[in-house]
Chain A
Amino acid sequence: MTERRQETLISSVLLAAVFVVTLLPFASLFTTALHTSGTYPTGLSWPKHPQWHNFVDAFHAADMGAIFLSSTSIVLGVVPVAIVLATLAGFALGHLRPRGGRAAFAVFLAGLTLPLEGVIVPLYYEIRDFHLLNTRFAIILPLIGLYMPFAVYWMRAHFLAMPNELSEAARIDGATTWQLFWRIHLPLARPAVTALGILLTIWTWNQFLLAIVLVDDPKKRTMAGALGAFQGQWGTNIPLLAAGALFILTPMLIVFLIFQRNFVVALLQGSVKG
């Protein structure tokens, strides 16, 4: 009995330690953000006079409002389109299975583990030739393409799991392929689509490399990309930088706290499938 209690105690202590280490960087960021702007405070210390207006200053210094809108419009440009294209393709590969579909799937699979660094250089010249450099489309369009391997794989897995009888019955009722997709299969795909939407939203919001290579203006970038520029500009003003970093990570954090369960499930499934 005592041995068990001891074991529980050790477990709890270890778990608590991991919690602390996980949260420590955020805590340190927070207390630092409250110190006087321009000073060089110590890592984790509560200031005598918390400077709450640092957040306001950081907000203005980085033009957070504009950055937030930019990031949101990029997400709105990427995620719905990627989902539509991937759902159509996933339906084809998982359900219609046209001749040559296996080959097409293999081509998608080939891109599944591709590091972005592998294509970033030609992507730059391609976007330049399209005259899209320094526009939000420079981030939106490539991201849709880059998400296809994973998104198609994801949706295909969903449609593969759907029972065939469903379609056969609809067929006998005279449904066309489009009706079959639109009226029968799409409504059933909602959970898979929601999870995919969550994943693509996080990945887009946090996308950094594409943003800094293809867009110079921080106000046309994703949140993460804009933070890179902010660091370059305010890197020596630690409290202000900390406040800025907190601003950038807050929106996703709020969404996460609201949809916590969905996020965790989506992230887990996402890594299993990826």
Chain B
Amino acid sequence: MNRTMIQAVNTATDSAPRRALTTRARHRPSHLGWLFLIPALSVYGIFVLWPILQTIRYSFYSWDGVDKPQWAGLRNFRAVFTDPQLTSTLVHVAELILFFTVIPVGLGLVLAAIMQRVTSRRVTSVARAVLILPQIVPLVAAGIAWSWVLSSSGVVNQVLQAIGLRHITRAWLGDFTTALPSVGLIGAWVLLGLCTVLLSVGMGKIDASLYEAAVLDGAGRIREFFAVTLPSMRNEIAVCVTVTMISALSAFDIVYITTQGGPGNATMVPGLKVYQLAFFNRQVGLASALALVLMVIVILCIMPVQSLSRRSGDE
């Protein structure tokens, strides 16, 4: 990539009249750029911006999707924050964040550190390929695979039986107490590899002299990790936290396939609830209010993380 770029730069400058560049041919057409922008802006406007405005509008109405919408004021929003069926979805999502975010980022840091010590390049590249695999396959397929692994005759119970823990075997996704953590672990499985690889790339970029300095100061492995590694990777960690939090907040595919929100309401998440309310219960207004609250929560969660990462220019 770089070579072709430099070549192109060279040929471009060679053919130019000698250093006439000083005149800085800055005839910036200030409106022409808009012609390039309009196509993208229009599809974005039609299929994203307009729907968002509609979501906001619907959220103030009571509407079954067929008859004339009835003005509902803030009633839908009050329901989102008071109806236990709906507030519980927000609680569940908070718990999912623990699994989707804390495990992949925490464990990812440990694994990345390990991968850095196992220095063979081949091991590293194989590790990357294997770990990133869950990002390639559809979440739906991952959901089917995992609901089988966690089922009453699945691998998990098979292993537990083999090591003499028969008494705790169960249908993990069908049990009120274990269903949500199980969904959370599936999410952790999906995201762990991505975080690990991202963090290991970040770790590889840390200046070795920082470690030498830490060792001279008498720091051990652990001190070294907290004094050098962690602070140097603020950016990568922020990226991982952002990506994983968004996947937790907008979880849909996995829950839809593995539990449909059940048992009872135990794994119901906002994304799935929006879908059910709008397309099965015909409560379009309420669904829109919940969707809007979800969007606001995403923004509220992401903003502090973003400001945490050092903002270097446009990255």
Question: Which residues from chain A sit less than 8 Å from chain B, CB to CB?
Answer: 7-8, 11-12, 14-15, 18-19, 21-26, 28-29, 32, 40-44, 84-86, 88-89, 91-93, 96-101, 104, 107-108, 111, 113-126, 141-142, 144-146, 148-149, 152, 157, 160, 162-163, 165-166, 168-173, 177, 181, 184, 187-188, 190-191, 202, 205-206, 208-209, 213, 223-224, 227-228, 231, 238, 241-242, 245-246, 248-249, 252-253, 256, 260-261, 263-264, 267-268, 271-272, 274
Contacts and interface: CB of A to CB of B under 8 A. Distances in A.
B130 A117 contact: no
A234 to B, nearest CB: 10
B261 interface: no
Contact of A168 (B25, B114, B123, B128): B25
B314 A15 contact: no
B94 interface: no
Nearest to B236: A272
B117 A170 contact: no
Contacts of B58: 121-122
B189 A21 contact: yes
Contacts of A18: 111, 131, 192, 196
Interface string B109-153: 011001101100001010111111111111111101110110101
Interface stretch (B7-15, B72-80, B212-220, B225-233): B7-15
Nearest to B107: A18
A146 B48 CA distance: 6
22 contacts: A8-B118, A22-B130, A24-B149, A28-B148, A29-B148, A88-B37, A96-B36, A108-B44, A114-B298, A117-B294, A119-B47, A122-B288, A123-B51, A126-B54, A144-B43, A145-B45, A163-B9, A177-B32, A187-B8, A227-B138, A271-B194, A272-B198
B249 A115 contact: yes
Contacts of A32: 148
A61 B266 CA distance: 33
Given A7-B117, A24-B149, A92-B37, A117 B250 contact: yes
B193 interface: yes
A188 to B, nearest CB: 6
Nearest to B17: A172
B183 interface: no
B302 A177 contact: no
B165 interface: no
The contact size tier of chain B is 35 or more
Closest 5 CB pairs of A and B: A145-B47, A98-B33, A122-B54, A115-B250, A96-B33
Label chain B's interface by main secondary structure. helix
B158 A44 contact: yes
Contacts of A168: 16, 21, 24-25
A271 B199 CA distance: 12
A124 B284 CA distance: 11
A92 B141 CA distance: 39
Among B24, B51, B55, the one with the most A-chain Cβ atoms within 10 Å of its Cβ is B51
A208 B253 contact: yes
Contacts of A263: 132, 136
B257 A231 contact: yes
B40 interface: yes
Contacts of A223: 138
Contact of B252 (A91, A104, A117, A206): A117
A57 B242 CA distance: 42
A99 B275 contact: no
Interface in B18-75: 20-21, 24-25, 27-37, 39-41, 43-52, 54-55, 58, 65
Contacts of B4: 187-188
Contacts of A123: 47, 51
B206 interface: no
Given A15-B115, A172-B21, A264 B128 contact: yes
A108 B278 CA distance: 27
A149 to B, nearest CB: 7
Contact of B291 (A121, A141, A241): A121
B171 interface: no
B55 A122 contact: yes
Nearest to B114: A11
A141 B156 CA distance: 42
A119 B41 CA distance: 17
B13 A165 contact: yes
B91 interface: no
A78 to B, nearest CB: 11
Contacts of B194: 267, 271
A169 B15 contact: yes
A29 B239 contact: no
Contacts of A93: 33, 37
A16 B35 CA distance: 53
A85 B39 contact: yes
Contacts of A84: 39
A56 B127 CA distance: 32
Contacts of A126: 46-47, 50-51, 54
Nearest to B284: A121
